[in-house]
């Protein structure tokens, strides 16, 4: 594995970094604030600027608005976007794994219909996977899709659907063959969120913001052209899509954790305590050093996955290891910030006493959620144990 970036990749990093410093909104505070209306609008405006540069989905083919970038250049992009806390939440799912799934399994008609609007920053996608009775055990889903002429009629409920209230389209899993084993009889659908029969109900999360939703589907008609891949191929497509999610989105997350840690170190250098600075405390220095080392480990886990992708080699086990380690690392980094900040670390950003914009308090809550989203830590451990180590299911 070559740990060095090419001259082209280094030049792209410098260009992108300079552009981000100039174009990320000056009042942008980062860290999952796009749930709020003002920040959502800022994010959408930013994505349009990104689209004008052709930088929404660098690795995609040029005919769909991409740059045909290598996995390594895409990694550079993900790192810089994460470190600068770029407001790309409205397209992160579409670019991270929905688009790649359409590229891999879609018809030419589906690609032409759905991919250019993503890279143009014109539409928002959401994910309809989890259900009230099927969360981590995703294959236990109960939503049904029944053929009726040239359509599928879908009935069921989805939950924890981020940005469903703002989305134009949804990728949705539904059971197409109830008699088949639970991993076999699933279809992967592309659903217009304006379809009759779809009701979106908000869920307010523990950070007191509306990002999640419950989605009810009652006799929703989806044309056969809305089926991605073959009728019962949905689970296979989902596994591939989640591998993309785990490997691409984690790169941005680890860079965001690095930015949080860098700012925490600067805070410790500047904050006076007991005649010295926080950084003079050996316990603080030890903890900051520990997190610095762990972030470096996480970064090179990402690099390992990218190197496999570049050689078109299987990497689902490595992606699971990467997702498990780095999402749990995000929790440790956020908790370190809260512990070092003391009581200030528990304050929300709207408090006049909040330090570092209350970032660590909110980061901690979201980091916990990220250990569940995209496949929980328990699921990742099962994948590693069974597929990677060959251990029995029980």
- Contact, 191 vs 170, CB < 8 A? yes
Residue with tokens 């134009």: 168
Phi/psi for 292 (5° steps) reads -60, -45
- Contact, 330 vs 253, CB < 8 A? yes
Please calculate the CA angle 336-338-340 and round it to the nearest 5 degrees. Answer: 70
Query: Exposed, middle or buried: residue 304 (CB in 10 Å: 0-12, 13-18, 19+)?
Result: middle
Nearest to 175 by CA among 162, 186, 167: 186
Report the alpha-carbon distance of residue 296 to residue 49 in Å, rounded: 31
129-133: long-range pairs with CB below 8 Å, 24+: 129/158, 129/171, 129/172, 129/173, 129/238, 130/158, 130/159, 130/160, 130/161, 131/156, 131/157, 131/158, 131/159, 132/157, 132/159, 132/214
User: Which residue in 35, 79, 80, 245 is the catalytic one?
Assistant: 245
Q: How many helices (H) and strands (E) does the chain have?
A: 11, 10
Q: Give strand ranges (E) for 176-274.
A: 186-192, 198-204, 210-223, 227-228, 272-273
245 tagged catalytic: yes
Residue with tokens 């990694």: 75
The maximal CA–CA distance of the chain, rounded, in angstroms, is 78
- Contact, 364 vs 264, CB < 8 A? no
Active site residues: 245
């Amino acid at each position: 594995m070559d740990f060095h970036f090419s001259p082209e990749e280094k030049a792209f990093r410098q260009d992108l970094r300079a552009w981000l410093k100039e174009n990320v909104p000056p009042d942008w505070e980062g860290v999952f604030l796009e749930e709020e209306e003002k920040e959502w609008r800022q994010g959408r405006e930013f994505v349009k600027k990104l689209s004008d540069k052709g930088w929404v989905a660098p690795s995609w083919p040029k005919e769909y608005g991409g740059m045909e970038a290598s996995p390594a250049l895409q990694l550079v992009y993900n790192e810089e976007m994460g470190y600068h806390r770029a407001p790309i939440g409205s397209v992160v799912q579409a670019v991270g794994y929905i688009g790649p799934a359409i590229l891999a399994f879609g018809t030419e008609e589906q690609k032409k219909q759905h991919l250019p609007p993503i890279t143009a920053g014109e539409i928002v996608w959401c994910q309809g996977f989890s259900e009230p009775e099927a969360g981590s055990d995703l294959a236990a889903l109960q939503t049904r899709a029944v053929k009726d002429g040239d359509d599928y009629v879908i009935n069921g409920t989805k939950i924890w659907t981020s940005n469903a209230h703002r989305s134009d389209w949804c990728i949705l899993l539904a059971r197409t063959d109830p008699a088949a084993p639970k991993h076999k009889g699933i279809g992967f659908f592309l659903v217009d969120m304006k379809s009759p029969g779809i009701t979106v109900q908000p869920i307010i999360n523990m950070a007191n913001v509306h990002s999640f939703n419950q989605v009810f589907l009652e006799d929703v008609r989806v044309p056969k052209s809305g089926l991605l891949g073959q009728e019962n191929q949905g689970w296979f497509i989902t596994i591939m899509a989640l591998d993309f999610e785990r490997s691409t989105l984690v790169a941005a997350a680890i860079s965001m954790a690095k930015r949080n840690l860098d700012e925490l170190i600067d805070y410790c250098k500047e904050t006076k305590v007991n005649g010295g600075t926080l950084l003079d405390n050996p316990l603080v220095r030890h903890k900051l050093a520990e997190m610095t080392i762990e972030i470096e480990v996480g970064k090179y886990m990402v690099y390992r996955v990218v190197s496999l992708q570049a050689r078109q080699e299987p990497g689902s086990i490595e992606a699971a290891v990467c997702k498990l380690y780095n999402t749990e690392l995000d929790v440790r980094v956020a908790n370190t910030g809260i512990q070092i900040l003391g009581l200030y670390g528990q304050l929300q950003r709207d408090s006049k006493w909040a330090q570092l914009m209350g970032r660590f308090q909110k980061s901690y809550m979201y980091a916990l959620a990220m250990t569940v989203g995209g496949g929980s830590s328990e699921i990742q451990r099962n994948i590693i144990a069974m597929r990677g180590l060959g251990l029995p299911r029980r």
